[in-house]
Amino acid sequence: MQKWLRTRLADFLVFGVLIIFSIACFFLRSEIENYLLRFGVENALVVGIPNETSTGIFLEMEDVSTVGAAEQYLRGCFDYQLFNPQSTLRKFYTPVGDIRFRVQKAALKTCTRPEIPATFARSCRYVEVSSSMQDEKDTRNLALHANFDWVHPSIQRHDGCWFMSVSLEYFYWKLQELLFDDDALPELANLLMNVSGNPTMFSKSTVATDEIWGKNGALYSGSGYSFWFPINPSNLANVTTKMGELASPQWLTGDTRMLAVVVEFTLANYHAGGYVSTVLLLEIFPSGASRFTAVLLPFHLAKTSGDITADVLDIFRWIIIIGYLCLYKVWRTCEDYVRDGFSGLRYVLSPAGLLDAASIGLFIALQYWRSSKVKPVEPMSSSNSQHFVSYSRWASWEEMAAIGEAVLVFLLIVRYTTLLRFYPPVYRFFVLFSKSFRVGLYYLAIFVPVAASTIFFANCLYGPPEAEG
Q: pLDDT per position in the chain (469 positions), as tens?
A: 444 444 568 888 899 999 999 999 998 887 777 888 889 999 999 998 988 888 888 888 888 888 788 878 888 888 888 888 888 998 999 888 777 778 777 777 777 776 777 777 777 777 777 767 677 676 553 332 333 333 333 333 334 333 333 333 322 232 233 333 444 444 445 555 556 666 667 777 766 677 777 776 567 777 777 777 777 655 454 455 444 444 444 455 544 544 544 467 888 888 888 889 888 888 877 777 788 888 898 988 878 888 899 999 999 999 999 998 888 888 888 888 888 777 778 888 888 889 999 999 999 999 998 887 655 554 454 444 555 667 887 888 888 888 999 999 999 999 998 888 777 887 888 888 888 888 888 888 999 999 999 988 888 887 655 544 4
pLDDT of the residue at 217: 57
Q: Per the domain annotation, does 59 fall within a domain?
A: yes
Are both 291 and 327 inside the same structural domain?
no
Q: Per the domain annotation, does 417 fall within a domain?
A: yes
- Which 8-state DSSP code applies to residue 63? G
Alpha helices (H) in 194-287, listed in sequence order = 239-251
Are both 91 and 239 inside the same structural domain?
yes
Final residue in a domain of this structure, among 299, 327, 349: 299
Q: Per the domain annotation, does 432 fall within a domain?
A: no
pLDDT of the residue at 17: 94
Domain count for the chain: 2
Are both 277 and 356 inside the same structural domain?
no
Are both 270 and 129 inside the same structural domain?
yes
Are both 337 and 359 inside the same structural domain?
yes
Q: Per the domain annotation, does 190 fall within a domain?
A: yes
Distance, CA of 329 to CA of 327 (rounded, Å): 6
Are both 279 and 336 inside the same structural domain?
no
Q: Per the domain annotation, does 460 fall within a domain?
A: no
Distance, CA of 412 to CA of 417 (rounded, Å): 9
Are both 102 and 220 inside the same structural domain?
yes
Distance, CA of 443 to CA of 450 (rounded, Å): 11
pLDDT of the residue at 253: 53
Distance, CA of 393 to CA of 378 (rounded, Å): 13
Task: Provide the phi-psi class of 456: left if phi over 0, else alpha when psi is between -120 and 50, else beta.
Answer: alpha
Distance of CA 401 to the CA centre of its chain: 14
Domain of residue 273: give its range: 36-299
Distance, CA of 37 to CA of 268 (rounded, Å): 9
Give percent helix, percent strand, percent coil of the chain, each to the nearest 5: 45, 20, 35
Q: Per the domain annotation, does 446 fall within a domain?
A: no
Q: Per the domain annotation, does 461 fall within a domain?
A: no
Are both 179 and 216 inside the same structural domain?
yes
Are both 203 and 121 inside the same structural domain?
yes
- Which 8-state DSSP code applies to residue 171? T
pTM above 0.85, yes or no: no
Are both 245 and 156 inside the same structural domain?
yes
pLDDT of the residue at 318: 95
Q: Is 26 in contact with 406 (CB distance < 8 Å)?
A: yes
Final residue in a domain of this structure, among 299, 320, 339: 299
pLDDT of the residue at 184: 42
Q: Per the domain annotation, does 274 fall within a domain?
A: yes
Distance, CA of 390 to CA of 378 (rounded, Å): 8
Are both 146 and 90 inside the same structural domain?
yes
Q: Is 71 in contact with 247 (CB distance < 8 Å)?
A: no
Final residue in a domain of this structure, among 299, 334, 366: 299
Are both 325 and 211 inside the same structural domain?
no
